[in-house]
């Protein structure tokens, strides 16, 4: 009975709230009196008042006011589970390659991830790397993206995108590095000796071959002289060999050591470790530049940029030296949104590394018309600090980063 009375009261209140109510307001208007005639004095003409004085008249007028009572009701919308057809995980690529190639090659990887995890993956080709990063920031729980090294650093700073894997190049490295080469008779032995010296640069957009060294010299307070842009590593090496410039930068690939018992170690081994033999390099019948024969017979195989002009200038190694290397610049990254589930992230990272070691990778990430990787390796964020150093030292804006080839804005 009490419930019925309470319900009736509520209905009554609502009905009263919605009923029109009458309010009374005061309305004032101005009224002009009729013309007044003044009684004339004898022998004069009647006079009419020249000015009408307005009078204020106030009336009370009823005004009907209707009120509408609105009640907000919160409705909770539940998302579909991550990895279902209604909400697949998005596997995103920048427009580095033809979109048809990206879709076909990317789908092979998506299918492998679905088979391994039981979750649905869908391939997306973004208009630019900047757009890819924006989507990863907007959908941090459901995105996996392939990013350039600089792109990863930008994404990590913008919204905490997580690092998954780093690409392994054909020579087995997860990084690349550049070198500074001078003539052995130039007297240039250190960075300080480069002040006011002319510099041949094979690619003004290259991180290991130009931007890193530009930042390192600036950080050390060393101002080089004229910067001479040239076409590629070969031209840079010829320029310094011929004495047209004081120094040049180009690609450094470590030598293969004797017997392949171990790999050359960055930061521990000399860039020209092979010089301990005191033997000049030669060209093998199949085109390799060797010192004392093939590695399996106790020799060294040289692979840095000078090997590219060895046939033109066989004395290139004898007459030049490497005075320093750039920091290690990491390869492309596979990254995950900041809120991507941790356990699933580990599964995706492991699955992608395993996939990259199989023949299936040659139909996807390892294909010659796609990324051409030799595999994927676990990665650490600290490996990208060299890029942060370049960005901060040179004061690169995001627009300048995209112009460097990290992506198209």
Token code pair at residue 272: 């020209």
| C-alpha closest to that of 252 among 318, 172, 181 | 181
> Are 222 and 264 in a shared domain?
yes
Residue 289 lies inside a defined structural domain of this protein:
yes
- Read off the pTM: 0.78
The two tokens of residue 110 are 């998506």
Note whether 182 and 241 are same-domain residues. Answer: yes
Residue 374 belongs to a domain: yes
Please indicate whether residue 17 or residue 352 has the higher confidence score (pLDDT).
352
Reduced to 3 DSSP states, what percent helix, strand and coil does the chain have, rounded to the nearest 5? 35, 25, 40
Whether 69 is in a domain gets the answer: no
Phi and psi torsions of 67, nearest 5°: -105, 140
Check pLDDT > 70 for residue 73: no
**Cβ pair 132, 144 in contact under 8 A:** no
Element (H, E) at 55: strand 55-65
Q: Both 182 and 282 in a single domain? A: yes
pLDDT bin (cut points 50, 70, 90) of residue 279 is very high
d(CA 407, CA 247) in angstroms, rounded, equals 30
Query: Residues 253, 194: one domain?
Result: yes
Average pLDDT for 169-182 = 95
246 and 120 housed in the same domain: no
Please report whether residue 274 resides in a domain: yes
Average pLDDT of span 216-232: 97
DSSP string, 227-251: EEE-SHHHHHHHHHHTTSSSEEEEE
Say if residue 77's pLDDT is above 90.
Answer: no
Counting the structural domains of the chain, the total is: 2
How far, in Å, CA of 88 to CA of 124, rounded?
11
* Rounded Cα distance, 279 and 272, in Å: 12
Over residues 85-115, the pLDDT tens digits come to: 999 999 999 999 999 999 999 999 999 999 9
Q: What was the pLDDT predicted at 92?
A: 98
With respect to residue 111, please indicate whether it lies within any of the assigned structural domains. Answer: yes
Instruction: Give pLDDT tens digits for 228-272.
Output: 999 999 999 999 999 999 999 999 999 999 987 789 999 999 999
> CA nearest 401: which of 390, 169, 249?
390
**Average per-residue pLDDT in the chain?**
85
Which among 273, 299, 327 is the end of a domain? 327
Same domain, 277 and 340: no
Share of the chain above pLDDT 90, in %: 76
Identify which has the larger pLDDT, 303 or 76: 303
Q: Is residue 127 in a domain?
A: yes
pLDDT tens-digit profile of 123-152?
999 999 999 999 999 999 999 999 999 999
Domain identity same for 103 and 240: no
- Using alpha carbons, select from 160, 107, 102 the residue that is nearest to residue 345: 160
Domain co-membership, 275 together with 367: no
* Domain termination site, one of 327, 351, 381: 327
Q: Are 340 and 375 within one domain? A: yes
pLDDT in tens, 11-56: 443 444 445 444 444 444 444 444 444 334 344 444 443 444 444 4
Domain hosting residue 184, numbered range: 175-327
Question: What pLDDT, on the 0 to 100 scale, is given for residue 13?
Answer: 39
> Domain for residue 40, yes or no?
no
**Do the domain assignments include residue 82?**
no
Assess whether 131 and 94 both reside in one domain: yes
Q: Is 361 left (phi over 0), alpha (psi -120 to 50) or beta?
A: alpha
pLDDT in tens, 327-347: 999 999 999 999 999 999 999
Same domain, 181 and 287: yes
Distance CA 335, CA 91 (A): 10
Supply the pLDDT for residue 402.
83
Domain boundary pick from 327, 354, 378: 327
> Domain with 158 in it: what CATH number?
3.40.190.10
- The predicted pLDDT at position 72 comes to 61
Same domain, 191 and 316: yes
Structural tokens at position 244: 């047209």
């Amino acid at each position: 009975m009490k419930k019925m009375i309470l319900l009736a009261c509520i209905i009554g209140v609502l009905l009263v709230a919605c009923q029109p109510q009458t309010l009374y307001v005061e309305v004032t208007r101005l009224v002009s009196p009729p013309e007044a005639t003044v009684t004339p004095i004898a022998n004069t003409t009647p006079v009419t008042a020249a000015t009408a004085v307005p009078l204020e008249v106030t009336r009370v007028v009823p005004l009907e006011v209707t009120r509408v009572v609105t009640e907000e009701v919160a409705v909770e919308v539940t998302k579909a589970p991550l990895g279902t057809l209604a909400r697949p995980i998005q596997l995103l690529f920048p427009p580095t390659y033809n979109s048809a190639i990206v879709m076909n090659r990317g789908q092979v990887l998506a299918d492998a991830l679905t088979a391994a995890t039981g979750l649905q993956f869908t391939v997306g080709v973004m208009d630019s790397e900047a757009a890819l990063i924006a989507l990863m920031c907007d959908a941090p729980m459901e995105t996996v993206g392939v990013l350039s090294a600089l792109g990863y650093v930008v994404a990590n700073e913008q919204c905490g995108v997580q690092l998954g894997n780093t690409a392994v190049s054909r020579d087995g490295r997860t990084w690349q590095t550049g070198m500074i080469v001078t003539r052995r008779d130039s007297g240039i032995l250190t960075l300080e000796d480069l002040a006011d010296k002319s510099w041949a640069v094979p690619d003004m957009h290259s991180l290991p071959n130009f931007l890193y060294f530009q930042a390192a010299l600036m950080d050390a307070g060393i101002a080089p002289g004229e910067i001479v842009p040239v076409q590629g590593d070969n031209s840079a090496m010829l320029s310094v060999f011929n004495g047209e410039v004081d120094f040049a930068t180009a690609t450094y690939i470590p030598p293969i050591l004797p017997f392949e018992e171990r790999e050359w170690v960055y930061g521990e081994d000399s860039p020209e470790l092979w010089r301990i033999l005191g033997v000049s390099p030669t060209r093998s019948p199949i085109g390799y530049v060797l010192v004392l024969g093939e590695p399996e017979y106790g020799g060294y195989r040289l692979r840095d940029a000078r090997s590219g002009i060895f046939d033109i200038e066989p004395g290139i190694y004898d007459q030049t030296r490497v005075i320093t290397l750039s920091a290690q610049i990491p390869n492309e990254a596979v990254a995950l949104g900041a809120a991507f589930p941790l356990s699933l992230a580990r599964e995706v990272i492991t699955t992608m590394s395993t996939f990259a070691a199989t023949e299936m990778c040659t139909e996807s990430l390892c294909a010659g018309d796609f990324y051409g990787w030799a595999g994927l390796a676990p990665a650490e964020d600290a490996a990208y600090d060299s890029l942060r150093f370049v960005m901060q030292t040179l004061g690169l804006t995001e627009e300048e980063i995209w112009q460097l080839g990290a992506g198209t804005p």
